[in-house]
Chains A and B, each alone.
Chain A
């Protein structure tokens, strides 16, 4: 009996959609967006991944959302909804944080940028744009602060890898060597004035994210100028496939996988971004209680020991074959040349070296707990 067909929601496209298609990118649907997953013409996921690790790659991340909080109580508003301590931010500085529910679980993870004295920009996930905006607006009404959704204003391009700074410096008047990691500046980029340039990313490498006007003409011109300027560094366009393998090697969380509305901050291992000494933020009380109760499950890194690839949602078994946990994200790691995964397991399995199994098509395949991050970029000499 055929199911009644629901109306297909319209799939959203970034301003660079036509450019990706022209480059014959393989397109997929991701959280309601049509995005490039890889570019076969440059060699695909593995080539893209290693280009970022060794040189430079660029990503269209315009599907991400942007919420601005500005006003005399902008800081108080941010402090109320965000678990990290935004009062530590100087103007021009950014920090990783999360918005939490009262239960101490995740609404979303976020990068908080301090643009001005009372001016903050939250960059959030694509799939949670509307939810986050409603959450932020609904939970900051008591503060003298304007909340604006700027998500559609920007084409956001990430330029990632050790040569990212060399590439971007060719296109901007801003002195990038003066911008430390997780700081930002504004400058002329590709002839456009006053462009936000942040030394942030989701790859575990040095790199930048630029926010240019989202009209198609400007967006495609900037993208193509970046590719041209990056030729000497071997730049390649990179899709969501390599974005995922890069962030997994660096053990960065992905909403809906390592963090979600049923997982709390301690379980996800994001303690260092959660400032409990802040007297109050949404989720504080629940987190204090959870800390006192102790962990029942915890996020660990796994490396496959026997032949096999652990993938999202595969079960983790103990050595007797009993189910003890599950994989949140798993994949081959193109740079490390191993098969890795992040998984939730009970704390007694969490020590590095612990042996577990991952159930792959009915068989338990041996894996071992390893320290994270799996990959850390080399320190500059």
Chain B
């Protein structure tokens, strides 16, 4: 699966897509593949403040709990309620199964994140380990 070029990526395997000051956040196809079947997603409530790099929730597979780290700072405006009952949507299409939307505190933070090409290379190196 190609990594959308209009997304930015983190080394913790999250993606973020900015549309002006609003950004949508999810986890990458690589992340869902390594987790296996996702059975549970824990997300913050709308109104919560996120700080770039800090843990904000978790994704669980049958075997493991994986923390989610904020790709950027901002305020949560919307959370994907579908994932409460159908977390497997993330496995089915990680790049459309968004987790939440935030209002960005500083859109400039995205400049230090990985491009699709950089992320692909990063993932290829991870796989080779």
A interface list, Cβ under 8 A from B: 26, 37-38, 40, 44-46, 241, 244-245, 307-309, 311, 331-332, 334, 361
Contacts and interface: CB of A to CB of B under 8 A. Distances in A.
Given A309-B39, A309-B40, A332-B40, A46 B33 contact: no
B62 A334 contact: yes
20 contacts: A26-B36, A44-B36, A44-B37, A45-B63, A46-B37, A46-B62, A241-B36, A241-B62, A241-B63, A244-B63, A245-B62, A307-B40, A307-B84, A308-B40, A309-B40, A309-B60, A309-B65, A331-B63, A334-B62, A361-B58
Contacts of B61: 45
Q: Which 8 A-B pairs have the closest CB atoms?
A: A45-B62, A332-B39, A46-B37, A44-B36, A241-B63, A332-B62, A44-B37, A309-B40
A44 B38 CA distance: 11
Contacts of A245: 62
Interface in B105-121: none
Bin the interface of chain B by size. Answer: 10 to 19
B88 to A, nearest CB: 9
A40 B62 contact: no
A40 B39 contact: no
Contacts, number: 35
A311 B62 contact: no
Interface in B58-76: 58, 60-63, 65
A217 B61 CA distance: 35
Interface of B: 33, 36-37, 39-40, 42, 58, 60-63, 65, 84
A37 B63 contact: yes
B62 A331 contact: yes
Nearest to A242: B62
B83 to A, nearest CB: 12
Given A46-B37, A309-B65, 4 more contacts: A37-B63, A44-B37, A241-B36, A244-B63
A332 B39 CA distance: 8
A311 B63 CA distance: 9
A244 B64 CA distance: 13
Contacts of A308: 40
Nearest to A46: B37
Contact of B36 (A38, A307, A311): A38
B123 to A, nearest CB: 16
A334 B58 CA distance: 20
Nearest to B63: A241
Contacts of B58: 361
A334 B84 CA distance: 17
Given A37-B63, A309-B60, A45 B40 contact: no
Name which of A307, A309, A334 has the most chain B CB atoms within 10 A of its CB: A309
